[in-house]
């Protein structure tokens, strides 16, 4: 059974989230403060739903600390529709995804289900992919560039692995959102752009003799991982 942590100070929203997630068969813990959430962060949760507007601590800081404490948990932030910067800062602080308030329960349940179905164990027998000096080890979920390991977050890894499957081939935004995040994607795809930006930063190689594969943006379409010699 998957274990979920809900961090939400609003009683009405928290009650609705807790009861609808329980009805789906998840084991749910509900914390109303950032401090409470951080105390629970050792508890081996599979999934965290984190409201960014908390009464005691800055939600972004809570996000960063939860990510550090639980590297393998799926972390989804909840934010008010108007707070676009929160979304980007939250994704950069370690969130895998976001939902905007007011939360539509059907969307939430679809998203939680999609995240939890995607176990990291599915690629155990697949060989590593290499693109020039880049090596993506699907079984171990490790990435190296010119022999140096690069540390990626879960969704960054999935995204790079998908692009590296077809180097030199354009992959559409819809395909990436569907395969890396959720086939039933409703909202904006800002999540994708933030993860691409993070990957570009991590793939930028300082060594001239080891040019890294680049990720090209194809306006209005998607992204493409380029062979370094192209
Ligand atoms: Ca709140």
What separation in Å is there between the alpha carbon of 183 and the centre of ligand 1? 28
Distance CA(90)–CA(228), nearest Å, equals: 31
Task: State residue 121's pLDDT score.
Answer: 44
Token pair in block for residue 10: 């609003």
Residue 226 forms beta bridges with which residues?
214
Q: How many CA atoms lie within 13 A of 201 on its CB side?
A: 11
Which residue intervals of the chain bear CATH 1.10.10.10? 129-226
User: 129-226 adopts what CATH topology?
Assistant: Arc Repressor Mutant, subunit A (1.10.10)
For 86-118, the pLDDT digits (tens) are: 888 888 888 988 888 888 888 899 888 888 876
**Lowest-confidence segment of 59-63, 165-169, 210-214 by average pLDDT:** 210-214
Distance CA(230)–CA(213), nearest Å, equals: 9
**Are 62 and 5 spatial neighbours (Cβ–Cβ below 8 Å)?**
no
Token pair in block for residue 50: 């984190």
What separation in Å is there between the alpha carbon of 53 and the centre of ligand 1? 4
Reply yes or no: is the peptide bond before residue 102 cis, omega within 30 of 0.
Answer: yes
Distance CA(47)–CA(74), nearest Å, equals: 5
Domain 3-117 classification at class level: alpha beta
What separation in Å is there between the alpha carbon of 59 and the centre of ligand 1? 9
Instruction: Give the residue with greater pLDDT, 196 vs 81.
Output: 196
Which residue intervals of the chain bear CATH 3.40.50.2300? 3-117
Token pair in block for residue 149: 């390991």
Instruction: Label residues 66-97 b or e (16+ Cβ within 10 Å = b).
Output: bbeebeebbbbbbbeeebeebbbbbbebbbbb
For 109-145, the pLDDT digits (tens) are: 988 888 887 654 445 567 789 999 999 998 888 899 9
What separation in Å is there between the alpha carbon of 81 and the centre of ligand 1? 13
Please name the residues in contact with 169: beta carbons below 8 A apart, sequence gap of 6 or more. 224
**Are 164 and 134 spatial neighbours (Cβ–Cβ below 8 Å)?**
yes
Residue 4 forms beta bridges with which residues?
28, 47
Sorting pLDDT into bands at 50, 70 and 90, what band is 3? very high
Residue 181 phi, psi (nearest 5): -110, -80
User: Among candidates 39, 35, 50, 36, which has minimal Cα distance to 4?
Assistant: 50
What separation in Å is there between the alpha carbon of 2 and the centre of ligand 1? 24
What separation in Å is there between the alpha carbon of 186 and the centre of ligand 1? 23
What separation in Å is there between the alpha carbon of 60 and the centre of ligand 1? 13
**What one-character DSSP code corresponds to residue 212?**
P
What separation in Å is there between the alpha carbon of 196 and the centre of ligand 1? 29
Task: State residue 124's pLDDT score.
Answer: 56
């Amino acid at each position: 059974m998957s274990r979920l942590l809900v961090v939400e100070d609003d009683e009405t929203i928290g009650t609705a989230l807790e009861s609808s997630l329980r009805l789906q068969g998840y084991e749910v813990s509900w914390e109303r403060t950032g401090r409470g959430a951080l105390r629970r962060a050792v508890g081996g949760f599979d999934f965290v739903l984190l409201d960014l507007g908390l009464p005691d601590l800055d939600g972004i800081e809570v996000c960063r600390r939860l990510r550090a404490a639980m590297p393998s948990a799926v972390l989804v932030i909840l934010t008010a529709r108007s707070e676009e910067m929160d979304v980007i800062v939250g994704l950069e602080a370690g969130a895998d995804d976001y939902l905007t308030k007011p939360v539509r329960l059907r969307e939430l349940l679809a998203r939680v289900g999609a995240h939890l179905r995607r176990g990291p164990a599915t690629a155990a027998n697949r060989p590593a992919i290499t693109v020039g000096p880049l090596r993506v080890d699907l079984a171990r979920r490790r990435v190296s560039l010119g022999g140096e390991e690069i540390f990626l977050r879960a969704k960054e890894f999935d995204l790079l692995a998908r692009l590296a499957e077809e180097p030199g081939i354009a992959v559409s935004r819809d395909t990436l959102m569907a395969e890396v995040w959720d086939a039933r994607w409703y909202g904006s795809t800002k999540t994708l752009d933030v993860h691409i930006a993070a990957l570009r930063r991590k793939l930028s190689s300082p060594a001239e003799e080891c040019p890294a594969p680049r990720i090209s943006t194809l306006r209005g379409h998607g992204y493409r991982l380029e062979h370094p010699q192209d």
